[in-house]
A and B are shown apart, each in its own frame.
Chain A
């Protein structure tokens, strides 16, 4: 046992001697926040994304690699609104890093800076996978990035005051370019306004709110619940009364339910990237919305 203790101490000392890198260490819970941090911090930060667009951010394992990354992070950038409730608390606790605990400057929740939709009036697990703070999929409305970018940039400057001027310049450039892009996207997406759609999971209220599409029904009877055959046939019946133009789902979701209903209702099934990296076109934040709108418009044809 003494031998082991000696080895452990040696490892500890060796690890302590590793020099900390100069760049701001950012741990992003979802790829869209990693991309936004990249826009705002450029080479002043080293950014790690805990999930990719093909993973459901509700269900992620508190993997050892995530704990190790959080250990040295100076800033975690997450959606909040309980989206990461199933894994982030364990990671923050086990990381032994109090700088990124909730409430600290190193803990950034994007959902705090936008108006939340679908805030439940009835909080009961019988309603399925509902979030007390509202629907957490805020990243599907491009307009939400402006207030979030502003708050995130201010947070970057607070944590890294030496580069505050740099972050301000980046924010200005991003806000201008993003505002121009929003105008462009809204023009492109004009034909989508008022179009009835079907969704696989209620992950698109912000997108609908922005582009004016009308969600007629969801393929999940309750958020996060698998549909039964009886429920699906009920949806098919509903679609005969209220026809929709397409069924949409996020890239990480099982394609089967969408494909099933698309075949029966003779509508296109559209998979949206949902986050950066969710499709070949969604290489960055601009690509995410270019591709999302292109796919939706293709669904109309």
Chain B
């Protein structure tokens, strides 16, 4: 304020110099006083307006948040970061037999057993987010303990088709069966049932397109179809135009009262195996030879799951019973002993397998499970040229019984112990012990039924 008074004096000083009498001086003093007052008033007004403006700019966002509590206010690039989840998992396995030996009668199918000793099992990194109003993207990378990254899932799915339609494309786990779509961290046992290990190489992943349609009924009814490259076993991942594999599936499900719910399904899978090589296949002469198969592979499956929780409250006790059955027919030509005799003739076989398992949560955070596995290697129709070489019937039924106990300190962590008596290999009964941890970091997406 002093500054302005000084300014006035400085401005009016020359006038004062030649004003001689007192009246003149008084008049000048009054004038200066008036000027001073008017400036002070205007400055006060300006200050008031400034304060008003400042408080307004602060108040506006504050009052908005108060009106809309809970609304996300994040901004900037990081606000659009996708959901990231990391599963850390590892196992310790103790076997009495070499796990590399496949089930008797199934040497021509897949065999990827869990590993022996300490090992980093299924660590996986998942990233997902909406892409735009039409699409959502999901990627899951499996971290190989030996180094390297495998692309487990990398698909885009539509979010706005409506009418119960869901369209998915990219790499995904096929919707067939019940267990096939579940990621390893959601399994109730350390390893997959034998029928999944032999028929689907643990899990059928496909590059292709999938369409699902949910019926507008109160009972859950879902139909799905897939066309794929035929990448996952039993497909043989050929380079060709068109589709290498096809899947059809249908699911139905509902509740029975508040305590029970179920889902059942049927699935069909078809692909062509081209030059599928299998080593160490036993023959009628008592040797292990390399065979090659080319032909059609058709599989049908049935699955069901039933879950019980008293009053629908799963917090304390619950029970889950599930079972699946697969039956596969392969027909085509088989080349016997590709490294030696190299004889090709027709070959057809129908094989099947099933499992039944129950998991009982007997108290909060503790679960116990029991599983029984069984395979049927069937009787092959072998062409005349190979009749003296190829074993058409093994006369052995591979089975396995498994018990497990797991403890989950929270919904993000689980510790498991599993014991299995594996009689899948003739005269090679194997007692297997597993210890496992499964931990989930970051965004943890909701689990499927």
> Is B428 positioned at the interface, with any CB of A under 8 Å from its CB?
no
In whole Å, how far is A14's beta carbon from the nearest beta carbon of chain B? 9
Known contacts A64-B254, A81-B70, A252-B313; is-contact A72 B216 (Cβ 8 Å): yes
Choose one: A51, A71, A134; the contact of B216 (CB below 8 Å). A71
> Is B148 positioned at the interface, with any CB of A under 8 Å from its CB?
no
Chain A 66-103, CB-CB to B under 8 Å as 1, else 0, gives 01110110000000110001111110011111110100
Are B163 and A226 closer than 8 Å at their CB atoms? Answer: no
Choose one: B159, B252, B365; the contact of A226 (CB below 8 Å). B365
Taken together as a complex, chains A and B put the C-alpha atoms of A65 and B220 apart, in Å, by 6
Are A68 and B219 closer than 8 Å at their CB atoms? Answer: yes
> Is A224 positioned at the interface, with any CB of B under 8 Å from its CB?
yes
- Residues on the B chain within 8 Å of A195, using CB: none
Number of A interface residues at 8 Å Cβ cutoff, please give it.
Answer: 61
Taken together as a complex, chains A and B put the C-alpha atoms of A69 and B216 apart, in Å, by 8
Main secondary structure of the interface of A (DSSP, over half): loop
In whole Å, how far is B74's beta carbon from the nearest beta carbon of chain A? 10
Chain B 11-27, CB-CB to A under 8 Å as 1, else 0, gives 00000000000000000
> Is B162 positioned at the interface, with any CB of A under 8 Å from its CB?
yes
Are B69 and A225 closer than 8 Å at their CB atoms? Answer: no
- Residues on the B chain within 8 Å of A264, using CB: none
- Residues on the A chain within 8 Å of B59, using CB: none
Chain B's closest residue to A98 (CB) is B160
Known contacts A65-B253, A134-B70; is-contact A96 B446 (Cβ 8 Å): no
Are A96 and B221 closer than 8 Å at their CB atoms? Answer: no
Are B70 and A80 closer than 8 Å at their CB atoms? Answer: yes
Known contacts A1-B268, A112-B70, A115-B69; is-contact A62 B221 (Cβ 8 Å): no
Are A68 and B315 closer than 8 Å at their CB atoms? Answer: no
> Is B60 positioned at the interface, with any CB of A under 8 Å from its CB?
no
| B contact residues, range | 35 or more
Are B268 and A96 closer than 8 Å at their CB atoms? Answer: no
Known contacts A15-B215, A68-B220; is-contact A54 B312 (Cβ 8 Å): yes
Are A68 and B364 closer than 8 Å at their CB atoms? Answer: no
Are A65 and B255 closer than 8 Å at their CB atoms? Answer: yes
In whole Å, how far is A93's beta carbon from the nearest beta carbon of chain B? 7
- Residues on the A chain within 8 Å of B162, using CB: 96-99
Taken together as a complex, chains A and B put the C-alpha atoms of A109 and B136 apart, in Å, by 22
Choose one: A64, A69, A252; the contact of B261 (CB below 8 Å). A64
- Residues on the B chain within 8 Å of A22, using CB: none
> Is A5 positioned at the interface, with any CB of B under 8 Å from its CB?
yes
Are A54 and B313 closer than 8 Å at their CB atoms? Answer: yes
Known contacts A101-B159, A252-B313; is-contact A85 B217 (Cβ 8 Å): no
Are A94 and B314 closer than 8 Å at their CB atoms? Answer: no
In whole Å, how far is B73's beta carbon from the nearest beta carbon of chain A? 11
Are A68 and B68 closer than 8 Å at their CB atoms? Answer: no
Choose one: B69, B214, B221, B448; the contact of A90 (CB below 8 Å). B448
Taken together as a complex, chains A and B put the C-alpha atoms of A129 and B246 apart, in Å, by 43
- Residues on the A chain within 8 Å of B54, using CB: none
- Residues on the B chain within 8 Å of A98, using CB: 159-162
> Is A229 positioned at the interface, with any CB of B under 8 Å from its CB?
no
Are B313 and A64 closer than 8 Å at their CB atoms? Answer: no
Taken together as a complex, chains A and B put the C-alpha atoms of A174 and B312 apart, in Å, by 31
Taken together as a complex, chains A and B put the C-alpha atoms of A86 and B212 apart, in Å, by 23
> Is B165 positioned at the interface, with any CB of A under 8 Å from its CB?
yes
- Residues on the B chain within 8 Å of A59, using CB: 314-315, 411
Known contacts A11-B215, A15-B215; is-contact A97 B412 (Cβ 8 Å): no
> Is B240 positioned at the interface, with any CB of A under 8 Å from its CB?
no
Taken together as a complex, chains A and B put the C-alpha atoms of A15 and B66 apart, in Å, by 46
> Is A301 positioned at the interface, with any CB of B under 8 Å from its CB?
no
The 5 closest A-B CB pairs, nearest first, are A64-B253, A64-B220, A68-B220, A96-B164, A15-B215
16 contacts between A and B (CB under 8 A): A15-B216, A15-B221, A55-B258, A60-B314, A64-B254, A64-B261, A86-B447, A87-B447, A93-B136, A96-B161, A101-B160, A111-B69, A112-B71, A116-B70, A226-B365, A253-B315
Q: A71-B214, A89-B446 are in contact. List 18 more A-B contacts (CB 8 A).
A: A52-B312, A54-B311, A59-B314, A62-B447, A63-B255, A64-B261, A68-B217, A87-B446, A89-B445, A90-B445, A90-B448, A96-B166, A96-B213, A98-B161, A98-B162, A112-B69, A116-B70, A128-B410
